[in-house]
């Protein structure tokens, strides 16, 4: 069982236009809404892969009817702490002519100490029963880094913790010795305040982060360039699959879900990395949501090239 925690969820609205005219009238070709938020996305993919999961975290009570319709449609098991507000809407404008995406993200609701305490008790009551707790995405308004750290510490005291966060949230999370951390290359660069020009420097730096934070594993993704599974003694590289790209939103969330779906079964890293890469590729070949099937993943993972790098 994999528990995901989304602190700052969103309804993702994807609008498709031919080209975007700023200061002009834009005609929409199509639009759709999906329940988003990084942990929720991970749980959505896990559900598709038939891996037991519960999506937890905060959700707005005022437009909950909308969220509930998505949850029912996706058959997503959830256990949210309700916040007396709307869940925000994040709008993504996809331009077909340039294949570019413009994001317009609302800040989202503010949570109170009472609601944070509710989430703490929820984690306290269920974390012991699950294989891992995944903390994905940004903090919401009203939550300090210390409070975020308390949530992670509560989970870490009961089970293994996985982190997909950036900037100060990543910095805080690394204080709690997670099992796995999943940055992309630019998030790792942002965290270390360096720009990597060689693979050697990148991997050395990643291993240094693992060592100093007492983190066991890193899943370091690099978009179309693929990904690395890194520990202090092992480095495995997975090439990305060549697929037609529609939208790169959520590739990392799908990749993380794919990796964990295999990892919790038997800790087979090679298989986990292949499934992760297939999920990442399927995510980018679709617009807006994570709606691929387990059959598609199983078929595509056979085409993934992984190789262990000799490393010292």
The residues of the shown chain that bind ligand ATP, judged by CB under 6 A, are 184, 221-224, 226-227, 240-241, 243, 245, 248-253, 255, 277, 280-281, 284
Q: What is the DSSP letter of 232?
A: S
Closer of 81 and 304 to ligand ATP (Cβ): 304
Q: Name the active-site residue from 12, 34, 164, 253.
A: 253
Q: What is the DSSP letter of 239?
A: P
As a residue count, the chain comes to 312
Q: How far apart are CA 196 and CA 219, in angstroms?
A: 17
Q: Is 72 a catalytic residue?
A: no
Closer of 88 and 182 to Mg ion (Cβ): 182
Residue 54 interacts with, from ligand ATP, Mg ion, none (CB under 5-8 Å by kind): none
Q: Give the pairing of strands 160-164 and 132-136.
A: parallel
The single residue among 137, 178, 252, 258 that binds Mg ion, judged by CB under 5 A, is: 252
257 neighbors 46 (Cβ within 8 angstroms): yes
Distance of closest approach, residue 15 Cβ to ligand ATP, in angstroms = 18
Q: How far apart are CA 18 and CA 22, in angstroms?
A: 13
Q: How many residues bind Mg ion (CB under 5 A)?
A: 1
**Site map 89..128 versus Mg ion, x via CB under 5 A:** ----------------------------------------
Distance of closest approach, residue 288 Cβ to Mg ion, in angstroms = 16
Q: How far apart are CA 9 and CA 57, in angstroms?
A: 8
Distance of closest approach, residue 191 Cβ to ligand ATP, in angstroms = 13
Percent helix / strand / coil, the chain, rounded to 5:
40, 25, 35
Closer of 156 and 241 to ligand ATP (Cβ): 241
Q: Give the pairing of strands 306-309 and 235-238.
A: antiparallel
Residues acting as catalytic residues: 253
Could you list the residues that contact Mg ion (CB under 5 A)? 252
């Amino acid at each position: 069982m994999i528990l995901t925690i989304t602190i700052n969820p969103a309804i993702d609205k994807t609008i498709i236009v031919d080209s975007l005219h700023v200061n002009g009238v834009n005609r929409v070709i199509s639009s759709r809404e999906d329940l988003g938020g990084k942990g929720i996305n991970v749980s959505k993919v896990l559900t598709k892969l038939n891996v037991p999961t519960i999506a937890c975290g905060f959700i707005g009570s005022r437009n909950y009817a909308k969220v509930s319709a998505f949850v029912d449609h996706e058959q997503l098991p959830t256990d949210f702490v309700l916040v007396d507000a709307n869940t925000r809407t994040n709008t993504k404008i996809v331009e077909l002519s340039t294949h570019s995406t413009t994001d317009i993200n609302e800040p989202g609701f503010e949570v109170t100490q009472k609601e944070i305490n509710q989430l703490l008790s929820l984690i306290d009551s269920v974390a012991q029963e699950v294989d891992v707790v995944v903390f994905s995405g940004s903090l919401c308004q009203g939550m300090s880094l210390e409070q975020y750290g308390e949530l992670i510490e509560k989970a870490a005291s009961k089970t293994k913790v996985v982190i997909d966060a950036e900037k100060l949230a990543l910095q805080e999370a690394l204080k709690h010795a997670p099992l796995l951390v999943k940055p992309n290359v630019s998030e790792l660069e942002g965290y270390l305040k360096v720009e990597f020009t060689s693979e050697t420097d990148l991997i050395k730096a990643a291993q240094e982060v693992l060592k100093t934070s007492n983190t066991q594993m890193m899943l370091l993704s690099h978009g179309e360039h693929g990904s690395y599974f890194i520990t202090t003694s092992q480095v495995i590289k997975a090439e990305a699959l060549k697929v037609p790209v529609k939208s790169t939103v959520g590739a990392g969330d799908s990749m993380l879900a794919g990796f964990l779906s295999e990892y919790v079964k038997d800790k087979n890293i090679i298989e986990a990395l292949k499934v992760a890469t297939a999920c990442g590729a399927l995510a980018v070949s679709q617009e807006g949501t994570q709606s691929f099937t387990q059959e598609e993943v199983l078929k595509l993972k056979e085409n993934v090239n992984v190789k262990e790098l000799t490393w010292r």
